Structure 1
């Protein structure tokens, strides 16, 4: 079955084990460089404008704008050879970042360039997630997704450390140039992949193809439940990064180093979760893994708020956020594997793009609504309310997925 699926998608079965390693290397290099440059740009914008709003606009350009074009990004991933599309996206990002490094433009032009880079990244992500079933046998999908998550998370953790080490030596322009080079290296690595054509090349117009992808997401019950459950939990709990900063500063009376440590706790949990799942995910039912991950990630925030004033609160908060990272790893592996097994290959790029675009929009709404709630009720209460809402949504998602075995 796995070989038939790979043959239908146009890739060479004999080269697929090496193909996953190539994708792992390319994504790791690309993510590390991208995180590195985003840190440099945030510091540059903060120093040049002195406005927190400008930094927030930079983050929205990178995170929210791609959500607006997600249906079209997914349609492209189902329309062309995914290897060539990924290479093109990496080279496009290299050109955009090189332009930013060369000119360091004014804020509005910078936001436009960051948004353009993020859109290319969105297309790359959709194509890369849709490509995984062509690179590993069906029984190895969960482990393959876990390894991709592990490499990506380690790269994202390394980005700020690299920025701290390189900025004093290279400056903003030099760091951005290093990011541009990382995209070129990633593109070069991706040339080692086998061809990865969708099983049925989408012959519809881009607009109609986008509508088809949205229609599938709305009509297919299990996919719809996964998307709604994921977005609902993120909408409830996405405010946690903002709340943790306020919690550390106002409630724990801690300094910047403790606040940074608490924010990084989820990364430690993610790394441990992906490492664990890379060896054992194949034994789990993906519907159960996904729903359990939603519940654990939300419960981590609930317990963070509830235990914020106990003795040794900083250590407790760190542990709860690390546990939350374990849950997020389970969400990622469970969701991606579920969709790769369930959705036809010809629609897979659109489903991934639409889902993660909607998740990004939910996170943006959570930042806004959660910020208002923090001002009104404080960080601990916000985390409790958000966590309780997230746990409720996770339980409802688990009930809706009960009995739907697609493993």
Structure 2
């Protein structure tokens, strides 16, 4: 699609402010968007179904928690290694293979009477395959959406993810009660097949990103990706900005015990828990929409540090033991601040070579899973002794401190880069 120029004026490509309608009009983006939404909805349903299924069969809260923990472990352990597949092979092909294999694995999980150990193994493999799939999709998106369209498209996908999660968790229990966990897992398998069909019909074939010369080993690619990401000061800062979410995601892991503390006899504890868990995703949807629609590309980079601090600062209010309404408002505000991730993601994409994006995204995604899992685990251990309110407030203080340091480093690196290029220093 061509952008009409205003007569007598010249606009740099980086200054073009894309719109949601402009992005949705691109057919390949719609295919990636629809496929992701369909697959994610099935996954949310499957998470509820697995929790119900495992608890019904074992009667053990530990076993149920162990299966849930398996959704973190594969991405942390195998993500950095398998993400390189997105750079070795054609990215659409990697996504199709992962979708088809996961459809078969989830279909096996839907068979009644499956041994518990085999069910755990299938869960591990299904989640493990999400690493190369996500890396391939993340690396393919900048090829489909150029310039500011990438930021707006990322915002749209982020809003969709949050909305689908809220819908999936809210409706999942009712659907499981109606159809049973096995049929829900079969439906999840069908969503993977649906995603594969959308990719085949809506995304064109492209050659592998690195198809010239002998292909290096997966371990060599992983080490090279780590050197690329962590050896560059600006990329390293952007990755740390992304991993900052470990602080402001922590409260969601403490929503249930915090809801018990907030209970006053008016609303049931499960309802309070649901409201707390939905608050940050709601803020994220609002923040992503406003940030992507009304803030210019240049200003997003200037606002990134301030918004990163905003993502953590509202959590400090929990130390004052405020009522539920104030807590919900603070958590929504925290979610709005999380919109800085869009700017960090766009800057990361622009700095990483196209042929190495799959590996780079895989490393960052694995780190995201690790900091979220570790943050929730450590927060839970601390809350056992101190209670949820001081732990959430402490996470907010630590997060604001780290965000402020990163904001200073980011501003300094941009000024140094501008000085080397002979351009005016950014504010």
CA–CA separation in structure 1 for the residues paired with 2:141 and 2:295: 16
Seen in structure 2, the aligned counterparts of structure 1 residues 111 and 150 have a Cα distance that, compared at 3 Å, is: same
CA deviations over 1:235-265 (Å, ceiling 9, x no partner):
4444312322212103444521112111111
1:377 is aligned to 2:386: yes
Match of 2:229 among 194, 217, 224: 217
Identify the residue that residue 185 of structure 1 maps to in structure 2.
194
Shift of 1:73: 2.2
Separation (CA, whole Å) in 2 of partners of 1:244 and 1:161 = 15
Structure 1 stretch displaced more, 151-160 or 213-222:
151-160
Give the deviation of 1:293 after TM superposition: 3.6
Q: Say which of 263, 279, 288 aligns to 1:265.
A: 279
- For the pair shown, the structure with the greater C-alpha radius of gyration is 2
- Counterpart check, 1:297 vs 2:308: no
* 1:256 aligned onto 2:261: no
Counterpart for residue 347 of structure 1: 356
Whether 1:247 and 2:258 are equivalent positions in the alignment is yes
Q: Contact 2:148/2:297 (CA < 8 Å) preserved in 1? A: no
Give the match for residue 10 of structure 1: none
* DSSP 3-state at the match of 2:84: helix
Q: What CA deviation, in whole Å up to 9, does each residue of 1:30-67 have, x standing for no partner? A: 10011111111112222222322222212221123211
Any conservation in 2 of the 1:37–1:176 contact (CA below 8 Å)?
Answer: yes
Residue correspondence of structure 1 range 4-43 to structure 2 within 5 A: 17-43=26-52
Map of 1:147-186 to 2, 5 A cutoff?
Answer: 147-186=156-195
Select which of 242, 250, 261 maps to 1:230: 242
CA distance 1:19–1:75, shift in 2 (3 Å): same
Give the corresponding residue for 1:120: 129
Matching of residue 206 in structure 1 with residue 218 in structure 2: yes
SS, match of residue 200 in structure 1: coil
Name the counterpart of 2:294. 280
Q: 1:169 to 1:248 in 2, by over 3 A?
A: closer
2:335 is matched with 325
Deviation string 1:163-185 (CA, Å, 9 cap, x unpaired) is 23322321111111111101101
* Contact kept? 2:90, 2:209, Cα under 8 Å: no
Q: Which residue does the alignment assign to 1:7? A: none
Distance 1:129 1:112 in 2: 26
| 1:102-113 to 2 correspondences below 5 Å | 102-103=111-112, 105-113=114-122
Q: 1:185 to 1:224 in 2, by over 3 A?
A: same
Partner of 2:345: 336
Q: Give me the CA root mean square deviation.
A: 2.4
Question: Matches of 1:93 and 1:239 in 2, distance apart?
Answer: 29
In structure 1, the residue matched to 2:9 is none
TM-score normalised according to structure 2 size: 0.85
Taking structure 1 as the reference length, what is the TM-score of the superposition? 0.89
Closer, same or farther: CA 164–366 of 1 in aligned 2, 3 Å: same
Residues 284, 376 of structure 1: CA spacing in aligned structure 2 closer, same or farther, 3 A cutoff? Answer: farther
Give 1:100's match in structure 2, choosing from 109, 123, 128. 109
Separation in structure 2 between the aligned mates of residue 110 and residue 328 of structure 1, nearest angstrom: 35
The count of aligned residue pairs is 390
Query: Partner of 1:19: helix, strand, or coil?
Result: helix
Partner Cα distance (1:196, 1:328) in 2: 33
